[in-house]
Structure 1
């Protein structure tokens, strides 16, 4: 149940981000979920290899819980990267060419 809520939440965050910048909403929602699972699997594999070399006992549920924060960290880093990259490439339309060089007082009087 926790996994379904997590997938929904991650997909929704990436969907809203892509919608804000007029990108493919479903594509980036799926990308966020795939990145979560990819980072979790890589971290779980590395952890499993390290732990199995020292002992033969490891609960799969605990391994999943340990890998979850790293998957979330990977999604967070991707989210911030996309947000920063798209914000940089998105031109600001707040200022018009006619307003360049005018003071704020001149702009407020119009």
Structure 2
């Protein structure tokens, strides 16, 4: 149940960010949710698989709840990183008022 709340709020924040900058709202909401799951998958490849070679019974002895507690921070961290990068990039694309005012003027030499 908690996972559904995470998915809802992640999608909502990405939807609102895309709406603010005039991008595809549903596309980026889905991309945000996919990033949450990819961040969880990254946990397995970066942390748990190498740990499995060091301590062989690590993954087998873990509960599903333990896996969930490990996946959530990685997923939220990946979403936060993508959100921050998108917001920063889209902020740079907004033209400043000086450049908008200079569009119709002739250059004086």
Q: Is the contact made by 1:10 and 1:29 (CA closer than 8 Å) also made in structure 2?
A: yes
Q: 1 CA distance for matches of 2:100 and 2:27?
A: 34
- How many residue pairs align between the two structures? 98
Shift of 1:64: 1.7
Q: Distance in 2 between matches of 1:59 and 1:51?
A: 16
Aligned counterparts of 2:100 and 2:38: Cα–Cα separation in 1 = 44
Tell me the equivalent position of 1:12: 12
Equivalent residue for 1:90?
A: 94
Cross-structure match for 1:79: 83
**d(CA) in 2 for partners of 1:34, 1:93:** 36
> How many angstroms apart in 2 are the aligned matches of 1:80 and 1:37?
18
**In terms of mean alpha carbon deviation, does 37-46 or 6-15 score higher?**
37-46
2:70 equivalent in structure 1: 66
- By relative contact order (CA 8 Å, sep 6+), the higher-ranking structure is 2
With the length of structure 1 as denominator, give the TM-score of the two structures.
0.78
Other structure's SS at 2:66 match: helix
Deviation at 1:97, TM superposition (A): 2.9
Q: Residues of 2 paired with 1:5 and 1:94: CA distance?
A: 43
Relative to the length of structure 2, the TM-score reads: 0.79
Decide which structure has the larger Cα Rg and report it.
1
**Aligned mates of 1:29, 1:84 — CA distance in 2:** 17
